[in-house]
């Protein structure tokens, strides 16, 4: 049986973020760097909307293992809270194999 430990696995990620009608894609690239970039972008947005829909879709993969990993998040409510929660989802999603 192959060894699927997380040590040394090179993980790439793509993150799709949508805030209201504005969408942006981050990656593909190193998972940790892409997550940090998406979180920083979410935190830098400044709008005066009382409520907004925020969605995040994280897709991760590696040539070292035969599966893909990912998650999604959706928020509708106060804009500043939604952007911050989405940024935290990006930062806190495990680099690899959180569901394994």
Domain parsing of the chain, residue ranges: 12-92
Mean pLDDT (whole number) for 6-19: 82
* DSSP assignment letter at 21: T
Instruction: At 42, list the tokens.
Output: 């979410």
CA distance 18 to 91: 16
Instruction: Find out whether 27 and 6 touch, Cβ atoms under 8 Å.
Output: no
User: pLDDT tens digit string along 40-57?
Assistant: 999 998 877 778 899 999
Q: Which residues contact 19 (CB under 8 A, 6 or more apart)?
A: 42, 45, 52, 53, 54, 79, 82, 83, 86
* pLDDT value at residue 10: 78
pLDDT classification of 9: cutoffs 50, 70, 90: low
User: pLDDT tens digit string along 13-44?
Assistant: 999 999 988 899 999 999 899 999 999 999 99
pTM of this prediction? 0.83
8: left (phi over 0), alpha (psi -120 to 50) or beta: left
* pLDDT value at residue 57: 95
* pLDDT value at residue 99: 46
């Amino acid at each position: 049986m192959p060894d699927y430990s997380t040590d040394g696995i090179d993980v790439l990620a793509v993150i799709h973020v949508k805030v209201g009608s504005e969408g942006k894609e981050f990656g593909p690239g190193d998972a940790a760097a892409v997550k940090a970039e998406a979180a920083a972008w979410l935190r830098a947005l400044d709008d005066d909307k009382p409520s907004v829909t925020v969605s995040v879709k994280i897709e991760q993969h590696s040539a070292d293992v035969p599966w893909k990993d990912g998650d999604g998040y959706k928020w509708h409510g106060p804009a500043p809270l939604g952007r911050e929660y989405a940024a935290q989802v990006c930062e806190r999603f495990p680099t690899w194999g959180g569901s394994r």
